Amino acid sequence: MTIRKVLIFTPIAVILFLLQSYFWVPTYEQQSRGNPDRLNEYITASIGDASILNPILSADSASSQINSLVFEGLIDRDEELRFRGRLATSWEVFEEAFFYINESASIPGAGTARAEEVVDFLRKAKKNNKVSDPRLKACLDNIREIGLIPPREFLVIKREKDLKNSKKEIEVKVHGRPPARVKLTLTAVDQDLFKNLTQLLGETYFTSFGGERYVSTDPPVSKEKLAAYAREFVPATEHNPILIFHLRDNVLFHDGHVFDASDVKFTFEAIMNPRNLSPRVADYEPVKAVEVIDPLTVKITYKRLYSPAIGTWGMGILPEHLLNQEALKREALRLGKDPEKFSMRQSGFNRHPIGSGPFVFQEWKSDQYIVLDHFNRYWEGPPNYKSYIYRIIPDPLTQEMEFYAGTIDNYGVQPHQVQRLKNDPTYQSFSGPSFGYTYIGYNMRREPFNDYRVRTALGMAIDVNKIIQYVLYGQAEQITGPFVKQTDYYNHGIKPLPYDPERALELLAEAGWTPNKEGWLEKDGKPFQFTLITNSGNDLRKAILTIAQDSWKQIGIDVRTDLLEWAVFIQERVDKADFDALILGWSMGIEPDLYQIWHSSQTNPYQLNFVSFKNKEADELIIKIRQEYDHDMQVEYCHRLHEIIAREQPYTFLYVSKWTAILDKRIVIKEIDDKGKVIYKKIEPTKTGNYTFYFNKWIKLPEVPTFALEG
Amino acid sequence: MNPEPTLEGPLAPRKTRLQESWHLLKQNGLSVLGLIIFILFFITAVIGLILTSGPDPVFDPSLVRLQEKLRPPLSKPNLETLQPDELPALGVYLFGTDDLGRDTFSRMLQGSWVSLTVGFVAVGISVLIGILMGGIAGYFGQNHIYFDHILMVVLLFAAGALIVVGAPSQGLGLLALGLGYIVYSLWTKRISEKKVLPIWLHVLHKKAFSVDTLIMRIVDIMLCFPSFFLILTVVALLPASIYNIMIIIGLTSWMGATRFVRAEFLSLREQDFVTAARALGVSDFRIIFRHMMPNAIAPVLVSATIGIATAILTEAGLSFLGFGVPPPHATWGNILSDGKRFIFDAPWLTFIPGFAILIVVLSFNLFGEGLRDILNPKLRERY
Amino acid sequence: MLSFIGRSIIQKIITLFFVSIVSFLIIHLAPGKPSQVDPLNPKFTPEMVERFRKEFHLDKPLHVQYLLFYRDLFTGKTASWKDNQPVLRKIWERFLNSLPLFIVGTILTWTLSFPVGIRSAIFRGGFYDRSATFFSYLLISIPGFFFAYILIIFVVNSFHVPVIGMETFGIGDPSWFRWFMDRVWHLLLPSVLGATGGIAVLSRYVRSQMLEVESQDYVRTAMAKGLPPEQVHYKHALRNALLPFVTMFGLILPGLIGGSVIIESIFSWPGMGRMAYEAILARDYPIILTVNFVSAVLVLAGTFISDVLYMVVDPRIRL
């Protein structure tokens, strides 16, 4: 009967056909061990795909990882986390400071002075060697040049909200004719310059300047608004830090085009272009101007003191010739799209990037892989690996299996797997502290968290070491404050809170919380009860949630827990400050800028100081730190700030987790010494815990080498 | 149910329906097995609820013993590092411990209740909606909806939307208009049977479509969504909670029940006993619930039994993708998906819940299959 | 006939319209907003978030957003929020990736189920029937990902061949034949896994349909006449049992999108389901909505095809 036969034999045939294909598939053995080409490839696995391969537009970690290989910035950080030149060979930082002549103020010993007189006065003071105050002396010695800018006039048009109709905007003409201005060129940035100069010019010389006098508007505006315009356009004093980069000669983009200063300027402009919607605008907002001095020199002027700004120049530099206005227009016309609406976001460049980094983009198959080849004409010499491949494998378990089979070299290994693989002779393992910490934050707007004793007690009741030991398999370190632990901003003198439930109970008793008959803590008949929340999808936080709940139950606190989906968690609870306590993590930059997370001005809804930490001394230090360009001074301020935060315990700082990595032992560093001899070295993480620092020198060998020269 | 008269021998004593069913069920060994496991699971779940809840449960599923993490099944607890009240109730970790040192056996016990609740509530919701919608479509399906009804509903909805969006004045205006129209139409109906309307308003009293069409189109619309994808979307966008998951699974799976009930009602409506009841002046409500529902419920029961199994599987699938029932509730689904990270280190965390789900879902399915056979009169006469 | 088709198409379009409204509302009324801009990144200022909202039209009233979205969709201009790629092209690529899985799975399901189900029906209550029942339910009842893991670990550990992805990674430049066979191999596990559930369900359905038909008089007559049983079962009975399957066959089209999320994630298969899932995670509304819309179109197309087929097959319906 034909129907029956068809129905039975078709599936059998299909299955047999599927099964026979087994004989044509290369086994793992053939792919990884028996394949010599495999040694020249570095394959890493990721759970998610990249989204946009353009360093100024990408915001996700997968894209950033690829971008960091394809593109290169002016500078980066070396083994000690100091800045190191990449596309820039060297750079200098100095300052231009300005102040307006205060025509009405009287200078001690000179009376009211006109512009030229003030300049002469300062020049004289600088020459005078008998300045008593050493700080003033240092300040004056730091001044390289004193100049005068004659009075000028300006007209600016501002768009403002109409007071009567909040939806409409009106134009306000701001007209100003400020007096002459003194320009001081400093050798090094000095945030205390004007404070010191008051010793010479009089206590109120700068504060009594009164910029409103020189500004008028059409139509007239309120007094506060006028003062705001005056602060904006006629500030009594102004710091303009200046950064000059000297660029590396003969650096090529992957298409052979020579890199020069105009690419730097272009990259900056692309970030600031509102049409590009770059997520990095905030980093570059303090920049006043980027000027090309010559093809190998670029000058960046800042509007104000902002020391973390230097680090932002690690941003990958885009090739201007491929993305400028004309190039985009041509692309738009080629694709038949409206050139007016076509922005860099739509450009095909983002899926086929060209940079000047060590690896050249080859191929991207969405949700499968991204292939990069090494760049033969890379200025530092091509990396040893011939290609870098980024595979996307969404399932952690299949990642693990591919790793055992040798078809990937690296994957997001979990702590418990490290524990198991550490002793395996085929693998080498690395770990080091990362740049992020996990904490429990308390909403200090609410009772009883506004009492530091309660916060401290809650912290003491949690055995952080136990969490580290058992939940993280030791892959974490306890932390006491908000700075990156491997930098010197971190104050190692501060001891972590001890695990001491008894002392915690004492502290709580001091704050008025005493156990009732059933053992629950009470104050004025009200039980100690609150809800601890965190986001779902993070197993570690979930575990901490459980442990914290359990630990606090032990001392008689009734804690409820809630796991919320990320977007809801952020938008409904964190942004609106609607929580008692939460578990969250911050990933930090190396720069010690704590303004957004810890400054008291950032406690409004949607701002990041959602625990509402307010401390006057801390506020001052935070401002000082972000204005200080001198490393040692910064460190000093940071240590003091760290102490304050550790004392106040706005967070229970839990731990900074360690990143972990497992690599095949056959992956080593290959170097060629002066005599042309090849040397193999074991991969060692740098002091700051970066094992991929020498990635360009890595290579995989057929056998594990014996490191004879070690020692 | 078996009208065939047998001529030879004495008539067999008449069995009750239940006895007959039981007899039929016994023929099918697998279904009996399914039923037994079903009952066992039910008992376990109830016992699990009792033993794992309360302030001081016998089996504490949330007790964290970090030093005892990932202990294999049947291992003895380490007496030195544990407080006396931290010891597991049976003196051994029957199913081992998980990555936080929680006793997997306690968690499985707790999970059995939660999984059962998820299944039952979700299916309960879907069956309720299904019966309601199917009942209306089947019984009142021939009634028509007039254009003025539609207009009214649109008005009221628009009013509601406007009020929610933040234009209360216009919203209240529309609301008043809608309510006014209702009052007006009730009044015209009550006072004057004759419709005295201007000619252009006659269109309002035209028949738009039948209730049946309306409901079946809603069913069609719902069927247009790929169900797992829809559940996933909604669960991902809503805050994760056990109730949301139950409700969403319920709200996305009522279409089958609706169709069954409607089909049954359509055929039952025409049967003599319904006509007789109607002739006696029995109210619609009573006809539906007393006379028709018991006859229509059979296929719904079968699909509900299988629906519970599907709901448990769906929950497990959601857990796998990270959208399942959030802690502190343990479900078998989330024990399994949490455990899969440790499949090489602690395979029991994957296999115990995996097989538990397999067995329970299998038992529901087999029992449902048996139930279908029992309730299907066509197949019954074969015996 | 033509009027039936016309009416049916109009009805489907109306349904589609409502589906588009419902799916749009579900996504836009749910709490939580697109997280293209990470609100917890200290570098995102509220102005930036506002600018993103403007760019994506999120600041407009809902009905305007709705019109804008579907206008873009029909003019083919919708672009993913995540990477600015045109949505339709993305979906088409993924569709091509999912297609082989779908085809192999469908062939297996729609061939294997029939002999299994029919045999069960013929030997109702026998050992074969019981074991087939048991195994089909076993396959329905096993959590898909659990089964997939067990299979993967088993295959990898005992045969040492890759099963992840669409092809062996880094296979280099093999002959086209080897390349082809490699792809076929990678199809094996996911498509078989995808088909198991289908086979189990469908074979149960075939069985019950056959049972209905087998008790009919004409089957008895045919048997009594002495026709070979095979011919009776496969020709007389099967033909008449087939009718309801016409409806089901129309409904397999949407299977292209729905149930494959988990399998595709586990096997790193860059298909439709996984793209949809990742879009949900990233709250990439254009992709979610478009996938939803496309799947609704597929469902409606499927029902339409089955309606027409029904009419062709069943003379009673031909009006």
Q: pTM of this prediction?
A: 0.82
Q: Which residues in chain B have Cβ-Cβ distances shorter than 8 Å to A539?
A: 338, 341
pLDDT score, position C34: 59
Q: Which residue in the block uniquely carries the two structure tokens 């109970």? A: A505
pLDDT at C39 exceeding the cut of 50: no
Using alpha carbons only, give the angle C75, C83, C52 rounded to the nearest 5 degrees.
85
pLDDT score, position A69: 92
Q: How many CB atoms lie within 10 A of CB A303?
A: 15
Q: Residue A184 region, left (φ>0) first, then alpha (ψ -120 to 50), else beta?
A: beta
Q: Which residues in chain C have Cβ-Cβ distances shorter than 8 Å to B368?
A: none
Report the largest interatomic distance among the alpha carbons of chain C, rounded to a whole angstrom.
Answer: 85
CB A633 within 8 A of CB A439: no
Q: What is the DSSP string of A685-711?
A: --TTS-TTTTGGGEEE-SSPPP-TT--
Q: Which residue of A has its CA nearest to B239?
A: A565
Partner residue opposite B345 with nearest CB, options A396, A420, A542? A420
Instruction: Say which residue, B36 or C83, is predicted with more confidence.
Output: B36
Q: Which residues in chain A have Cβ-Cβ distances shorter than 8 Å to B107?
A: none
Question: C13, C265, C280, C297: best mutation site toward chain B, by most B Cβ within 10 Å?
Answer: C280
User: How far is A113 from A220, CA to CA, in rounded Å?
Assistant: 32
pLDDT score, position B382: 43
Q: pLDDT below 70 — which residues of chain A?
A: 1, 32-34, 162-167, 537, 567, 707-711
CB C312 within 8 A of CB C319: no
Distance from CA of C126 to the nearest CA of B (A): 10
Q: C134 and B29 in contact by Cβ < 8 A?
A: no
What integer is the mean pLDDT of C279-300? 85
The percent of residues above 90 in pLDDT, for chain B, comes to 6
Instruction: Say which residue, A32 or C43, is predicted with more confidence.
Output: A32
Q: B327 and A561 in contact by Cβ < 8 A?
A: yes
pLDDT score, position A637: 93
User: How far is A541 from A700, CA to CA, in rounded Å?
Assistant: 36
Q: A420 and B236 in contact by Cβ < 8 A?
A: no
Distance from CA of B326 to the nearest CA of A (A): 7
What integer is the mean pLDDT of C163-175? 75
Q: How is residue B43 written in tokens?
A: 């008992």
pLDDT score, position B164: 65
User: How far is A464 from A653, CA to CA, in rounded Å?
Assistant: 9
pLDDT confidence bin for C319, thresholds 50/70/90 = very low
pLDDT digits (tens, 9 = 90+) for B84-143: 767 777 778 888 888 777 888 888 988 888 888 889 999 999 999 998 888 888 888 787
Q: Which residue of B has its CA nearest to C257?
A: B226
pLDDT score, position B1: 43
pLDDT score, position A165: 63
pLDDT confidence bin for B381, thresholds 50/70/90 = very low
Partner residue opposite A564 with nearest CB, options B64, B239, B343? B239
Q: A572 and C42 in contact by Cβ < 8 A?
A: no
Let me know how long chain C is: 319
Q: Which residues in chain B have Cβ-Cβ distances shorter than 8 Å to A469?
A: 66
Q: A570 and C46 in contact by Cβ < 8 A?
A: no
Q: C30 and B234 in contact by Cβ < 8 A?
A: yes
Q: A564 and B344 in contact by Cβ < 8 A?
A: no
Q: How far apart are the first and last CA of chain C?
A: 7
Look over chain B and give the mean of its residue pLDDT values, rounded to a whole number.
79
Q: A397 and B66 in contact by Cβ < 8 A?
A: no
ipTM of the complex model: 0.84
| Strands A581-587, A529-535: pairing kind | parallel
Q: Which residues in chain B have Cβ-Cβ distances shorter than 8 Å to A564?
A: 239-240
pLDDT confidence bin for C124, thresholds 50/70/90 = confident
For CA atoms A353, A357, A360, A361, give the dihedral sign.
negative
Q: What Rg, from alpha-carbon coordinates, does chain C have?
A: 24
What integer is the mean pLDDT of B175-195? 69
- Those chains having 3 or more beta-carbon pairs within 8 angstroms of chain C are A, B
Q: Which residues in chain C have Cβ-Cβ distances shorter than 8 Å to A367?
A: 268, 270, 274-275, 278
Q: Which residues in chain A have Cβ-Cβ distances shorter than 8 Å to C263?
A: none
Partner residue opposite B239 with nearest CB, options A546, A561, A565? A565
Distance from CA of A588 to the nearest CA of C (A): 10
Distance from CA of A528 to the nearest CA of B (A): 17
Q: How far apart are the first and last CA of chain A?
A: 80
Q: B69 and A536 in contact by Cβ < 8 A?
A: no
DSSP reduced 3-state for A610:
coil
pLDDT confidence bin for C315, thresholds 50/70/90 = low
Distances (CA, A) of A693 to A12, A387, A552, B24, B337: 54, 17, 42, 74, 36
User: How far is B226 from C253, CA to CA, in rounded Å?
Assistant: 11
pLDDT score, position A268: 94
pLDDT digits (tens, 9 = 90+) for B312-348: 888 888 888 878 777 667 888 888 888 888 888 888 8
B73 touches chain A (CB under 8 A): no
Q: How far apart are the first and last CA of chain B?
A: 13
pLDDT score, position A355: 93
pLDDT digits (tens, 9 = 90+) for B59-81: 877 777 767 777 888 888 777 76
